[in-house]
Amino acid sequence: MFTEIPSAKWRALVGATLKLASVSPWEWLKEGQTFGVQIQETGEKIYCSVMGQVGGLKALAIYPGKMGWKSYVELGTLETDTDPNEMIMRQRCIMVSFVPANAAEEDDLALLKHIGIALDATQEVPTMRSYRPGYVPQPPDLAEVNMLQIVLEKALGLLGELPGAPFSLPENGLDEDGKMLFNVQTSDPSAIQLEWLLPDSTLDFSPPVATLLPTDLRQNLNLPLKDEIWLLETFYLTHAAESEFGIQFYPQTIAFFDLKDQRFRGVSLLTPDDFPDNVGEVLSALLREQGIRPKQLVVSKSENLILMRPICKSLGIAIYLEKEINILAALREAVEASMDFSDR
């Protein structure tokens, strides 16, 4: 898993993670006390959250760029009953965590052996995993390793300044002006340049909207409109699939469930790269297969209302948001029960 990246890079990166472990920021920082690193060449902001204050996994969660910040912000706005699978599978972050040797994965232990780093009995094994929406967590790639080297070095510099105020962090990471403390990368690698900067705006990240091809629209408008109500749910499966390139991902399911007859009208599985571009195609194919247009679609999530509303409007299908509908877990269970995952 780790052999495509030069040993010297891994050695330097693992060395930085061990320095982080020795600093033990989880002993005096709360998860909400976020801070950041700004990359000099691109100006990109990287957001960091320390985990492990309440005895859980000791880790530094690193959220790169606008997508990373959006992921972090969404974690704080999710409902308390949100499916934890969805929370994990939507994330864009890189997790640097530490686990006891007897709980470490073989690949992480093999990496330490490969780069010639031996831990003593008191040290926990560092692990690094990259989370991308819809994909199974993987070791960081070369670009991420290069970024992590910068971020860890700058994070350690910033953390070294924190115990001696005035650089104490607000409870939610933002000061009264909505700014976050960053260590800004400069031409001097060892320099510590702390600045309070505004984080990236998340206003540009509207939920996706599905579209229909003109040919599909014309064909579907010729179908009769029938007095039926279908529930539309989208969710990730918990079993991973593998692409033709050997990349593991969690299929994103689009399920249409007939609320009157209590049966599936159609189920389609998409790769992360197919969503939302292929949603319109999925709906169009389903309507042709069923030979009708339902009068109503019902969704339980606001994002699905936004996703489907333009298509429904063009097809003369009413769409409603009914948040009290709570059968998503049952639908996922039914879909997974009907599939064969024995070879995955």
Average pLDDT by stretches of 10, the chain with 344 residues: 80 95 91 93 94 87 94 72 69 95 91 92 93 93 94 94 71 92 89 93 82 94 96 92 87 94 94 92 95 96 93 96 90 87 48
Q: Are 269 and 253 in contact (CB under 8 A)?
A: yes
Q: Burial, 260: exposed, middle or buried (Cβ in 10 Å; 0-12, 13-18, 19+)?
A: exposed
pLDDT, position 179? 94
Report yes or no: 18 and 123 within 8 Å, Cβ to Cβ. Answer: yes
pLDDT of residue 231: 97
The bridge status of strand 293-299 relative to strand 225-236 is: parallel
Which pLDDT belongs to residue 161?
Answer: 83
What stretch of H or E contains 128?
Answer: strand 125-131
Which residues lie across from 182 on neighbouring strands?
36, 195
Question: For 138, which DSSP code?
Answer: B
Distance CA(217)–CA(210), nearest Å, equals 13
Q: What pLDDT is stored for residue 204 in this prediction?
A: 72
Q: What is the pTM of this model?
A: 0.86
Q: At a CB cut-off of 8 Å and minimum separation 6, what does 285 contact?
A: none
For residue 272, count CB atoms less than 10 angstroms from its CB and return exposed for 0-12, middle for 13-18, buried for 19 or more: middle
β-pairing, 180-184 with 58-64?
unpaired
Which pLDDT does position 144 carry in this prediction?
95
CA distance 223 to 82: 36
Look at residue 79 in the predicted model and tell me its pLDDT: 52
